[in-house]
Amino acid sequence: MGWLIQSEGKKQEDLSSWMRTWEFAKDLHTRYGAGAKHLLLGPPRRFAIGNSDAALLNAHLWHLAQHKNVSARYAEGNVLVQPVSSCPSSSCVLLGCYRNKLESFRMELAAFLEQVHDKARFMHALEQNVRSVNTMVRNTTCLRTDFQILVRNDGQIFHLDLGRCFAHGRLTWAVQKIASTTRSP
């Protein structure tokens, strides 16, 4: 388990936009089941941090960036936090549409495949999940933009960055249209 943490006000996101993403993730899971898995474990919340907490978070950023110079992202004040499941690189591989994700996938694929212990079970689960993901993406067109998922070594698929489906604080038109046609009167 881990936490997504972001200084409030950065990237013009606030608690309400994080909450819309959380509700959207739950709705996708209700409508599409296994193909709509995500790593979010609970709703986001606002949390006040002090200078020592901010310094600790910034120090962790420095370590994650492999000792490169990372500017301080956190300061005393409010942050948004959300509990998430972890998916370590030894058991998950990132797959996405942009070049940097493709290069990362190529570099990590061999090590990832070594962690797939039951290849037949992995392929069966992956094929089922891909079908479900395809249906979901076909019906929820905003997920096509900056498509990014984690594939776990048991064939499960987890969607990342579902917040991309929101433009100017509301769902994109294609998703609104689908949502309005799937709700009962």
- Vertex 100, ends 11 and 122: CA angle to 5°? 105
Q: CA 177 to CA 169: how far, in whole Å?
A: 16
Give 54-110 pLDDT, tens digit per residue: 888 888 775 555 555 556 778 888 999 999 998 887 799 988 877 677 788 888 888
Task: Quote the domain boundaries for residue 161.
Answer: 2-182
Give 148-168 pLDDT, tens digit per residue: 899 999 999 999 888 888 754
The domain tally of the chain equals: 1
Sign (positive or negative) of CA dihedral 104, 109, 110, 114: positive
CA atoms within 13 A on the CB side of 162: 24
- For every residue of 164-184, DSSP letters joined together read GGEETTEE-HHHHHHHHHHS-
Model pTM score: 0.76
Q: CA 26 to CA 42: how far, in whole Å?
A: 10
Q: How much of the chain exceeds pLDDT 90, in percent?
A: 31
Q: CA 158 to CA 36: how far, in whole Å?
A: 7
Give 47-61 pLDDT, tens digit per residue: 999 999 988 888 877
